[in-house]
Amino acid sequence: MIPKDHPRYESLMLRAKIVDAYKKGILADSGMIAHGRGEAFDYLIGEKTTETARKAERAGAAALLLAENPVISVNGNTTALAAELVVELAETLGAKIEINLFYRTASRVEKVEETLKDAGARRVLGIEDEEKGIIDGLEGPRARASLEGVYSADVVLVPLEDGDRAEALVANGKTVVTVDLNPLSRTAKTSSITIVDNVVRALPNIIQEVAEFKNYSDDDLKMILENFNNDQNLEESLKIVSRTYIGDA
Ligand code: PTJ
């Protein structure tokens, strides 16, 4: 039991969720290492949403609203930390939810699906007995994507993705919106819109932006996208990380 007045309460609660999900077989063992890396970068950006991340979240929300077939791709870590938020965003957007695991096993797919359904998801794609298409440039089970989901999606939100998958999705003509605390990761560098923020803060922000932008015209949304430059935004995030690191934040 973590006392509420502990100075690292929020961070420790997230750790507890990660450990619990591992024990339940939702999280890959490497998922704990990935979380630790994320924690380190979160520490360096001050464990809060930066103005820079907020700009990327607005651009991500605009891209998702402009999409014809938006899909939220979900892995073990995102399910462990934010299953309810994924469902809420999918409902707000009218987007599909698809399971895509790096360390894919039938048992984990089943548990992730169950967790998402418990969180309110009406339908979850990417499950075992479903017709799949192949994403060019990827090998093995990771290349297989739901025909009505990621395979045919124009915009995919991929929180905490691994580098080659983000790269392959972009190469297959998709707009990839990612959430990754590490601005130096391959995912961060290859995605169309990179949100350098913790998934537990980014998703509520995107939900809020989507609700705010719902009545915007397509032209207004396109303008938000045109005014966003991912390379520049990543540079700004990197500066924030370095400033914090040398104690000049
Ligand atoms: O559930 P699976 O089988 O699909 O596996 C998922 C992991 C995350 C284990 C797998 O995709 C993996 O190994 O990913 P990487 O290459 O370690 O990348 C994960 C990235 O997510 C790293 O750059 C971390 O900094 C970042 N990250 C970790 N926790 C968070 C995060 N970004 C945002 N929010 C977090 N809470």
pLDDT digits (tens, 9 = 90+) for 9-36: 899 999 999 999 999 999 999 999 999 9
Range 35-49 average pLDDT: 95
Nearest CA to ligand 1 atom 12: 162
> Would you say the CB of residue 209 lies under 6 angstroms from ligand 1?
no
State which ligand 1 atom lies nearest to the alpha carbon of 39: 29
At 245 the pLDDT is 52
**Strand 132-134 relative to strand 144-146: parallel, antiparallel, unpaired?**
antiparallel
Rounded to two decimals, the pTM is 0.96
Contacts of 161 (CB under 8 A, 6+ apart): 73, 75, 176, 178, 180, 187, 191
Nearest CA to ligand 1 atom 21: 160
* pLDDT tier for residue 244 given thresholds of 50, 70 and 90: low
Smallest CA-to-CA distance from 98 within 111, 116, 81 is with 116
Pocket test for ligand 1, best of 11, 77, 116 (most atoms within 8 A of CB): 77
CATH class of 51-246: alpha beta
Q: Calculate how far, in angstroms, residue 76's C-alpha sits from the geometric centre of ligand 1.
A: 9
Which has the minimum average pLDDT: 88-92, 232-236, 245-249?
245-249
State which ligand 1 atom lies nearest to the alpha carbon of 179: 33
Alpha-carbon separation of residue 51 from 94, 187, 196 (angstroms): 27, 21, 10
Pocket test for ligand 1, best of 33, 160, 165 (most atoms within 8 A of CB): 160
Smallest CA-to-CA distance from 244 within 163, 181, 159 is with 181
* pLDDT tier for residue 2 given thresholds of 50, 70 and 90: confident
CB burial of residue 186 (10 Å; 0-12, 13-18, 19+): middle
State which ligand 1 atom lies nearest to the alpha carbon of 161: 11
Q: Is residue 191 a contact partner of residue 230, using CB atoms and an 8 Å limit? A: yes
Place of tokens 């790269």: 167
**Triad 149, 158, 46: Cα angle to 5°:** 160
| Distance between CA atoms of residues 61 and 55, nearest Å | 10
Nearest CA to ligand 1 atom 35: 198
Residue 155 sits at φ, ψ, to 5 deg, of: -130, 130
Q: Is residue 195 a contact partner of residue 57, using CB atoms and an 8 Å limit? A: yes
At 142 the pLDDT is 87
Q: Calculate how far, in angstroms, residue 77's C-alpha sits from the geometric centre of ligand 1.
A: 7
At 212 the pLDDT is 96
Smallest CA-to-CA distance from 72 within 47, 94, 48, 42 is with 94
| Distance between CA atoms of residues 149 and 51, nearest Å | 32
> Would you say the CB of residue 103 lies under 6 angstroms from ligand 1?
yes
Q: Calculate how far, in angstroms, residue 36's C-alpha sits from the geometric centre of ligand 1.
A: 9
Which has the minimum average pLDDT: 44-53, 109-118, 239-248?
239-248
| Distance between CA atoms of residues 193 and 95, nearest Å | 18
At 141 the pLDDT is 85
At 188 the pLDDT is 96
Domain boundaries, the chain: 51-246
* pLDDT tier for residue 249 given thresholds of 50, 70 and 90: very low
pLDDT digits (tens, 9 = 90+) for 193-220: 999 999 999 999 999 999 999 999 999 9
- Spatial strand order in the sheet of 155-159: 96-99, 70-74, 155-159, 175-179, 193-195
> Above 70 in pLDDT, residue 44?
yes
Q: Calculate how far, in angstroms, residue 218's C-alpha sits from the geometric centre of ligand 1.
A: 32
Q: In this prediction, what percent of the chain has a pLDDT beyond 70?
A: 98
Single-letter code of the amino acid located at 31: G
Q: Calculate how far, in angstroms, residue 130's C-alpha sits from the geometric centre of ligand 1.
A: 25
At 3 the pLDDT is 82
Single-letter code of the amino acid located at 96: K
At 242 the pLDDT is 84
pLDDT digits (tens, 9 = 90+) for 142-187: 899 999 999 999 999 999 988 889 999 999 999 999 999 999 999 9
Q: Calculate how far, in angstroms, residue 53's C-alpha sits from the geometric centre of ligand 1.
A: 18
* pLDDT tier for residue 6 given thresholds of 50, 70 and 90: confident
| Distance between CA atoms of residues 190 and 171, nearest Å | 10
Kindly state the tokens that stand for 182. Answer: 């590490």
Q: Calculate how far, in angstroms, residue 58's C-alpha sits from the geometric centre of ligand 1.
A: 22
Nearest CA to ligand 1 atom 25: 38
Q: What DSSP string describes 226-247?
A: HT--HHHHHHHHHHHHHHHHTT
pLDDT digits (tens, 9 = 90+) for 111-140: 999 999 999 999 999 999 899 999 999 998
